[in-house]
Structure 1
Amino acid sequence: MARQGTYDRLPKPPVVLGFEGSGTVRSVGEGVKSLMEGDRVICLLDFTAQDGTWQEFALIPETQCFAMPKEMSFEEGAAIPVNYITAYHMLFEFGNLRPNKSVLIHMAAGGVGVAATQLCHTVDNVTVFGTASAAKHETIRKGGVTHPIDYRNLDYVKEVCKISPKGVDIVLDPLSGADANKGYKLLKPLGKIVHFGAANVVSGPQISYWNMIKSYMGVKNYSPLFMIGDNKAACGYHLGHLTDNQEMIQYAVHQLIGFYNAGKIKPVIDSVWQFDDIAQAMARIHDRKNIGKVIIIPHKNNEN
């Protein structure tokens, strides 16, 4: 999404991409107190950073580094920040997820989708509907999706209503456009839809402005007066506008590390690519072939 220009805070090219990562601290600057050389860390950069993490050595502010559990691999550490913080905020801060609730997760086999599915199961008796291509259903079902739905060949609204006629309590919407309207209609009373992306505007290697216009025109304008009568809520989420809120980010990371240490979450690594193969890695994500997180490393034998 950043490569295609859909993140509004990203500096204009030339720029080193990458908002997250993991590694070993090689040296610390003057005044750094919480870290020392040799520490293993997870990093989440401010989305306005000119120099991202897609480089062998990166300069990261102390406040944007977090201690990584000894049992966690570097690949797992790199998979935590963007996907799991996003899923955590949407489900627990916006969604107020509680036992016996139901959640619809679009793109359930992607990085955020896998994270959200795992986090749903940190709460008792949560029913998870997940859209994905049929080839990914067995995998996402094993990962915790209660009811996989083939969005390419079936109407997911009808499929959800067959099982839950009243709809769902939470919808996580990375699509926008007409799917935003469908998600709102699927909500039960007191339900919430959280919009956090616009995958429907992506067409080819770059953002499609025609698709953007169609998506914009196709989205229902939420009127507070109508929402009062509907007893529903619509929320918008963009992690890139929260990275300077360190208290909120640190709390989420603390909670996620606790879940990891308790064995309740474990990042799913789809594949690992070297810097020379970034184009193929990006194509895998764009073509929606991945299940879980696609990781980029400097060299295959570089463990740091």
Structure 2
Amino acid sequence: MEKIVIHRPGGFNRLQFETFPDPLPGENQVVVQTKSIGVNYADCVVRMGYYASAKKYIGWPITPGFEFSGVVSVVGKNVGDLAAGTRVFGVSRFDSYASHVVVPRSQLYFLPEHISFEEAAGFPVIYLTAYYALYMLVHIFPGSTILIHSAAGGVGSALLQLAQLGDWRTIGVVGSSHKVEEAKELGADWVIDKSKENLWQMVEKYAPQGLDAVLDGNGVTTLREGYTHLRPTGKLISYGYHAMFARENSILNHLKLIYSYLRTPRFHPIDLHNNNRSLASFNLSFLFDRGDLLEIAMRSLYSWFTEGKIRMPKVTVYPFREVSRAHRDLQSGKTVGKLVLNL
């Protein structure tokens, strides 16, 4: 088997291809020969050496990747419902950037013929993130108005579609004009192009009473204003800190990171109490021991996905050996939808 290994943190050149013996499954495990692999911004942060769960559970060297699709290669003891050649997709805590992946049976899902390997590989992370934020972490009442940053990106695309199912009004924020139509097609009621419009003036126009929820994967650049624009009972939901990291340059800028960290707002519990506002945050890579939550979320998501109630956003495919280009493009902030690697 071949997989991508990172031996120490750094730029795109740290993504090295290495060969290993083919893996064997343990009890209740399955070996999948991968066809497509999802690429997420978290993978870039893993490569940089700043992803907390990667340092806690793996260390160096590490193979990044949280999601994949392919066909069953070998099944372990006690796995009776899968056979070699069965189309599947699934999730892993790292190790997906490989030609073969070993995971527990509980982290695999049957892949219908009408859904492509590319779509399936890019599905789990963005939709599990969106589902947990909207349906598990907090309660958002029907008719609420929610602000979604990076609305044409992977998680933003999933948030827009799940918000439609939840009967919420959505304000999508995009960073450039070529992303506006994509956000509209995905269901945004209003779209703010912050490259041409004043973001917070437009928010006040569309939500004069304030926002019921803000979904923020940026961090330092938008958290404070997002909190300020909440109405009483509003919720600021933070799931990433992309703005802390360099875009065009693969070299780590430690001074920028330190400066961004120091500028990241802190919210005092007494202020939250007096303002009737809430702050919630999460990182799904720390929740792999909560199989019950994964089962609940995927039961709904799998049904909606296979029935066509939700769909993948635009999927851009890269050859497996062009993983560095995929990381570079994703970090640039110019991509739309989801990126996947094909073997």
TM-score, length-normalised on structure 1?
A: 0.91
Q: CA deviation digits over 1:229-264, x for unaligned, max 9?
A: 111100111011112211101211111011113322
**Structure 2 Cα separation of the partners of residues 232 and 255 of structure 1:** 29
**Structure 2 Cα separation of the partners of residues 172 and 290 of structure 1:** 19
Match of 2:34 in 1: none
| Alpha-carbon contact 2:154-2:337 (below 8 Å) kept | yes
Match of 1:5 in 2: 49
Question: What is the aligned residue count?
Answer: 294
Match of 1:103 in 2: 146
Question: Is residue 280 from structure 1 mapped to residue 289 from structure 2 by the alignment?
Answer: no
Give the secondary-structure state (helix, strand or coil) at the position aligned to 1:295: strand
**Structure 2 Cα separation of the partners of residues 260 and 97 of structure 1:** 22
TM-score, length-normalised on structure 2?
A: 0.81
**Structure 2 Cα separation of the partners of residues 277 and 246 of structure 1:** 33
**Structure 2 Cα separation of the partners of residues 125 and 64 of structure 1:** 30
| Range that drifts further, 127-136 or 192-201 | 127-136
User: Residue 263 of structure 1 is aligned with which of 308, 311, 323?
Assistant: 308
1:207, CA displacement in angstroms?
4.3
**Structure 2 Cα separation of the partners of residues 92 and 161 of structure 1:** 26
1:56, CA displacement in angstroms?
1.6
**Structure 2 Cα separation of the partners of residues 207 and 97 of structure 1:** 38
Question: Is residue 186 from structure 1 mapped to residue 257 from structure 2 by the alignment?
Answer: no
The 1:16/1:127 distance shift into structure 2, 3 A limit, reads closer
Q: Which amino acid aligns with 1:235?
A: A
Q: Which amino acid aligns with 2:220?
A: G
| Alpha-carbon contact 1:108-1:132 (below 8 Å) kept | no
Match of 1:122 in 2: 165
Over the matched positions of the two proteins, sequence identity in percent amounts to 30
1:40, CA displacement in angstroms?
1.9
Match of 1:169 in 2: 212
**Structure 1 Cα separation of the partners of residues 251 and 107 of structure 2:** 29
| Range that drifts further, 248-257 or 260-269 | 260-269
Q: CA deviation digits over 1:68-94, x for unaligned, max 9?
A: 334221111111111110011001112
Q: CA deviation digits over 1:31-79, x for unaligned, max 9?
A: 22343323222211124xxxx1222222222222122334221111111
Q: Which amino acid aligns with 2:126?
A: N
Q: Which amino acid aligns with 1:269?
A: K
Gaps of 5+ in 1: 299-304
**Structure 1 Cα separation of the partners of residues 254 and 235 of structure 2:** 28
Match of 2:68 in 1: 21
Match of 2:91 in 1: 44
**Structure 2 Cα separation of the partners of residues 16 and 32 of structure 1:** 26
Q: Which amino acid aligns with 1:44?
A: V
Match of 2:23 in 1: none
Question: Is residue 32 from structure 1 mapped to residue 79 from structure 2 by the alignment?
Answer: yes
1:206, CA displacement in angstroms?
4.4
Match of 1:302 in 2: none
Gaps of 5+ in 2: 1-44
1:154, CA displacement in angstroms?
3.0
Give the secondary-structure state (helix, strand or coil) at the position aligned to 1:42: strand
Give the secondary-structure state (helix, strand or coil) at the position aligned to 1:291: coil
| Range that drifts further, 205-214 or 289-298 | 205-214
| Alpha-carbon contact 1:104-1:128 (below 8 Å) kept | yes
| Alpha-carbon contact 1:108-1:140 (below 8 Å) kept | yes
**Structure 2 Cα separation of the partners of residues 67 and 240 of structure 1:** 22
| Alpha-carbon contact 1:17-1:53 (below 8 Å) kept | yes
Give the secondary-structure state (helix, strand or coil) at the position aligned to 1:59: strand
Give the secondary-structure state (helix, strand or coil) at the position aligned to 1:221: coil
Q: Which amino acid aligns with 1:94?
A: L
Match of 2:334 in 1: 289
Give the secondary-structure state (helix, strand or coil) at the position aligned to 2:90: strand
Write 1 or 2 for the structure with the bigger share of strand: 2
The 1:22/1:296 distance shift into structure 2, 3 A limit, reads same
**Structure 1 Cα separation of the partners of residues 289 and 109 of structure 2:** 15
**Structure 1 Cα separation of the partners of residues 115 and 125 of structure 2:** 17
Q: Which amino acid aligns with 1:39?
A: T
